[in-house]
Copies of this chain bind each other. A is one copy, B any other.
Amino acid sequence: MTTAYISEISKYEGQDVTLKGWLYNKRSSGKIKFIILRDGTGLIQAVAVKGEIEDKYFDLIEELTQESSLAVTGTIREDKRSPWGYEMTLKSLEVVHIAEEYPISLKEHGTSFLMDNRHLWLRSEGQRHVLRIRHEIIQSIRQFYYERGFTLIDSPILTPASVEGTSTLFETDYFDGKAYLSQSGQLYLEPAIAAFGKVYCFGPTFRAEKSKTRRHLQEFWMVEPEVAFNDHEDNIKLAEEFVSYIVAWVLEKCGRELDALERDKTKLEKVKAPFGRVTYTDAVERLKKEGIEIEWGDDFGAEHETVIGSWFETPVVIEKYPAKIKPFYMQPDAENPDLVANMDVIAPEGYGEIIGGSQRDHDLERLKKKVIAQGLPLESYEWYLDVRRYGSVPHAGFGLGIERTVAWLSGSKHIRETIPYPRMLYRLYP
């Protein structure tokens, strides 16, 4: 007997196959019993009619509890009334394991309970859809950079220093010294552009921030491209092309998941380059006119980002922030040295910042001065400064946060559902 997955069931129309999975639901209607089987790739209904199937199998259905594991064998029929397109006429079944009473029922559960049972909650349809969208987003990212000739440069997690200060770093003993968990691969990508031209890294990053919001995780995944000879405009163009590519991929591959999550796809269909664009300075002016409290020189908070996002139907690029609120490695703006050639991309519909990036300062002397001015130890950055000593070139890059992108595209209200096992303040288990 052929063993098949539900996702490929259309290939077996009219044939007998075995499917293996878990009992999602069952019901009875007189002499007919219905089993809904879940195998991780899809759902299917199997129908047993008393008299047409051996009694021992018919009776066995009675014993099945929710989430029991089993193998069902029968004939696959197309069924247009079924939400899954196909049904099975059951011929036999084999019980693998009768589940204990399953703690997650179809009724509402509290968040804390669901998070304590994250390892089981993963089985729920809503969670599965979000994580399938995550899976496709990540595949689209790998494909995007592969097609464009970028070389993957896995940057280290254990690092001696940090890009943006040490207050939010996880620290560990490293033999006779200390190491810190990486917050960004950028410093490691910049030297690599001189070897490979176009590079990217993609891995977990860490923030030991004591913030507990819908948008923060202590451990999250980030993809960061870095390109030699790219300037500020090239950087924005790459970001627009990249985000548009991800969205088009998800629309193509995840139609079923988006529908099941009741995501408004027409909003995603509008995500095409070029995006809306506004300078930091103009955004501050407009926010003030709209009566929102902010002064030039303040950083934007989540509420500001939501308002700015609402000005456009596409994502919006905010560019040229004040240098004094940005890290030392950013290239000064060509026209106004109080500004930097940076850009953030804000997702629409209130999903916040998904990208932050900049052209990098490639002038050795200016960069040295900034490292010293910020009170950073120059000797820790010598290797990073070497990029400017040996064939310095203009270059630019950015980072895209995976979980925020998943939240946006799947329409998840809380970032904790966008990663299989979220790490949050006071949440390290399971």
* Residues of A near any B CB (own CB < 8 A): 3, 5, 7, 20-23, 39-41, 67-69, 96-97, 99-100, 102, 117, 119-120, 122-123, 127-128, 131-132, 134-135, 138-139, 142, 146, 149, 151-160, 170-177, 179, 181, 188, 191-198, 203-204, 206, 208, 210, 218-219, 221, 228-229, 362, 383-384, 386-394, 419-421, 423, 425-426, 428-430
Contact = CB atoms under 8 A, between A and B. Distances in A.
A172 B170 contact: yes
B157 A193 contact: no
Contact of A40 (B128, B146, B194, B392): B194
A338 B263 CA distance: 53
21 contacts: A22-B194, A69-B391, A99-B389, A102-B390, A119-B387, A122-B194, A122-B196, A132-B151, A135-B152, A139-B146, A153-B420, A154-B221, A155-B421, A156-B420, A157-B157, A160-B429, A170-B173, A171-B172, A171-B173, A174-B218, A175-B208
Nearest to A152: B135
A381 B134 CA distance: 27
Contacts of A392: 69, 96-97
B119 A155 contact: no
Contacts of A218: 158, 174
Instruction: Report which residue of A22, A117, A419 has the largest number of chain B beta carbons within 10 angstroms of its beta carbon.
Output: A22
A389 B41 CA distance: 22
A347 to B, nearest CB: 21
Contact of A420 (B3, B154, B391): B154
